[in-house]
Amino acid sequence: MVPRCSSLMELPFSIGNLINLENLDITRCSSLVELPFSIGNITTLKKLELHGCSSLVELPFYIGNMANLKKLELIGCSSLVELPFSIGNMTNLEKLKLDRCSSLMELSSSVGNMANLKDLDMMRCSSIVKLPSSIGNMTNLEDLNLEGCSSLVELPSSIGNMTNLETLILQKCLSLAELPPSIGNMTNLKIMDLKRCSSLVKLPSSIGDMTNVEKLNLDRCSSLVELPFSIGNITSLPMLSLQSCSSLVELPSSIGNMTNLKELQLYNCSRLVELPCSIGNITNLKNLSMGSCSSLVELPYYIGNLTNLEILHLDDCSSLVELPCSIGNMTNIKNLSLSCCSSLVELPSSIGNMTNIKNLCLINCSSFVELTSSIGNMTNLVSLQLFYCSSFIKLPSSIGNLHNLKSLRLNGCSKLKALPVNINMKSLDDLHLGDCWLLKSFPEISTNIRVLKLNGTAIEEIPQSIRSWSRLERLHMSYSEDLGKSQHAFDLITELHLSDKGIQEIAPWVKEMSRLERLVVKGCTKLVSLPQFQIHYKS
């Protein structure tokens, strides 16, 4: 072993005399330019590691004499331009690692003679333009990694002969425009990763013959316009990922045949207008993510058949006006996220049937006006997020039935004037009402609140009853002259906000707020001075 000898420029010719050597590690000898041809005499060698030999330009022809070699590692040999033709004589080789051989222009056609090769790693061989057709002779190959081969334009049709291949990684093959139809012959393939193949326009219909595929990743295939109808034949597929396929206009109706699909990722498919009705047939689906599908106008009625769905993400679906009433049939939903659905006006009353839901998120739904009273049936709801819903006007009194609700966030609901009265949400721990400018009445909806944020509201007085809130740890308020009437609460306030442009000085009673941790001063252009007390200021 001679690893990390960064100044080593050559190996002695006599190294060829080590005729019983089985492992040779020359890792990170970054100054090594070449190997002596005598190295080919070590015919007993089983493992040769040249990882990080970044100055190595070529391998000697006689390296092909190493007929017993099982692993050849050339990772990071960034100056290596080609492999000798004789490399094909290594017929017992099982692993060939060429990761980051960024100057390697091509593979010798003789590599097809490596009939026992199981693992070929060419990750980030960024100068490789094509593979030799003889590669199809590697019929025992199980793993082929071509990730980051950014100059690779095509795959040879003979690649379909690799019928034992289980993993094909083509991630970041930026120049790859199509796959050969013969790829469908890889019937044992389990993982096919095409993430960021940004030039890929379509998939061959033969892809439907890959009936054993367990993972198909097409994320960020930004030129992909459609999926072949035959994709529905991959009935064993548990996950299909199409995130950021920004040219994808529709899904084929055959997708409904993927009855074992558990996760469908469609995030940022910005041109996708609708889903096929057949999506309702994927009854084992648990996770459907459609965030940032900005052209999506509606969901099909049959989506309600997805009764095993647990997660539905529709964030930033800015064209979505309403949800179908059938959505209430999804009684196993645990997380429903509709943030930034700026055209969404209301939720159907059937949504109250989602009695197992734990998190409902409607952040920044600027057209959303009010919640249906049936929301009170969501008795397992833990978190309700409605902040920055600028058109939101009221909460239904039925919200008092949400006995498991811990977090209610309504900050930035600038049209909200009041909260329901005569309710006690015993589990409520976190209540945010900051920047609800029209809110005047103090929220007495729970005595168990731990965090209460009222800064930016019109609330100026704090009731005496707050003294009985034994769990209250943080109270955020806005400064006003009338706040001075609530001295009973001074030792509860932990954060005070000042945003009055006309204020010149702060009343001295502020210094009586013994637990004040933070004083936020914003836009007070006429303020002359601050009280002399130890506090963390932020402006």
The CA-based dihedral angle spanning residues 123, 127, 133, 138, taken in that order and rounded to the nearest 10 degrees:
-20
Element (H, E) at 359: strand 359-361
How many Cβ atoms sit within 10 Å of the Cβ of residue 371? 23
Answer whether residue 74 is part of any domain: yes
Calpha distance 139→162 (Å, rounded)? 5
Answer whether residue 96 is part of any domain: yes
- Please state the domain count of the chain: 1
Q: Select from 129, 174, 132 the least CA-distant residue to 152.
A: 129
pLDDT of residue 10: 85
Share of the chain above pLDDT 70, in %: 98
Give strand ranges (E) for 132-214: 143-145, 167-169, 191-193
276: which residues sit within 8 A by CB, 6+ positions away? Answer: 250, 251, 252, 253, 255, 256, 300
C-alpha atoms less than 13 angstroms from C-alpha of 417 in its C-beta half-sphere? 2
Q: Select from 75, 84, 39 the least CA-distant residue to 54.
A: 75
Answer whether residue 311 is part of any domain: no
Q: Judge whether residue 538 has pLDDT over 60.
A: no
Q: Select from 37, 22, 15, 28 the least CA-distant residue to 55.
A: 28
The SS3 assignment for 86 reads helix
Calpha distance 34→36 (Å, rounded)? 7
Q: Do 18 and 42 meet the contact criterion of CB atoms below 8 Å apart?
A: yes
Give, as one character, the DSSP assignment of residue 335. Answer: E
How many Cβ atoms sit within 10 Å of the Cβ of residue 248? 22
pLDDT of residue 9: 81
Calpha distance 149→125 (Å, rounded)? 5
Calpha distance 252→275 (Å, rounded)? 9
Residue type, 510: V
Q: Select from 25, 39, 29 the least CA-distant residue to 9.
A: 29
Q: Do 439 and 458 meet the contact criterion of CB atoms below 8 Å apart?
A: yes
Mean pLDDT of the chain: 95
Q: Judge whether residue 539 has pLDDT over 50.
A: no
pLDDT of residue 504: 87
Instruction: Calculate mean pLDDT across residues 124-135.
Output: 97
Calpha distance 106→103 (Å, rounded)? 9
DSSP character string of 58-78: ---GGGGG-TT--EEE-TT-T
**121, two tokens:** 């790693």
Q: Which residue has the tokens 């190493």?
A: 66
The per-residue pLDDT for range 172-224, each reduced to its tens digit, is 999 999 999 999 999 999 999 999 999 999 999 999 999 999 999 999 999 99
Supply angle C-alpha 290, 273, 345, rounded to 5: 70
Instruction: Calculate mean pLDDT across residues 130-135.
Output: 97
**112, two tokens:** 């097809």
Q: Select from 522, 514, 523 the least CA-distant residue to 533.
A: 514
The per-residue pLDDT for range 277-314, each reduced to its tens digit, is 999 999 999 999 999 999 999 999 999 999 999 999 99
The SS3 assignment for 455 reads coil
CATH number of 41's domain: 3.80.10.10
Indicate the range of 245-249, 386-390, 496-500 predicted with least confidence: 496-500
pLDDT of residue 154: 96
Burial per residue of 114-151, b for 16 or more beta-carbon CB atoms within 10 angstroms, e otherwise: beebbbbbbbbbbebebbbebbbbbeebbbbbbbbbbe
**72, two tokens:** 């050849």
Answer whether residue 108 is part of any domain: yes
36 burial class (0-12, 13-18, 19+ CB within 10 angstroms)?
middle
The per-residue pLDDT for range 88-111, each reduced to its tens digit, is 999 999 999 999 999 999 999 999
pLDDT of residue 6: 74
Answer whether residue 97 is part of any domain: yes
Residue type, 32: L
534 burial class (0-12, 13-18, 19+ CB within 10 angstroms)?
exposed
pLDDT of residue 1: 54
The per-residue pLDDT for range 420-463, each reduced to its tens digit, is 999 999 999 999 999 999 999 999 999 999 999 999 999 989 99
Q: Select from 390, 334, 398, 391 the least CA-distant residue to 361.
A: 334
Query: What is the domain range of residue 58?
Result: 1-117
Q: Residue 393, Cα to own-chain centre: how many angstroms?
A: 34
The per-residue pLDDT for range 18-70, each reduced to its tens digit, is 999 999 999 999 999 999 999 999 999 999 999 999 999 999 999 999 999 99
**399, two tokens:** 């919200």
Answer whether residue 434 is part of any domain: no
**Whole-number Cα distances in Å, 254 to 235, 244, 245:** 10, 21, 19
Give, as one character, the DSSP assignment of residue 102. Answer: T
Q: Which residue has the tokens 């976190």?
A: 430
Answer whether residue 493 is part of any domain: no
pLDDT of residue 500: 82
Answer whether residue 92 is part of any domain: yes
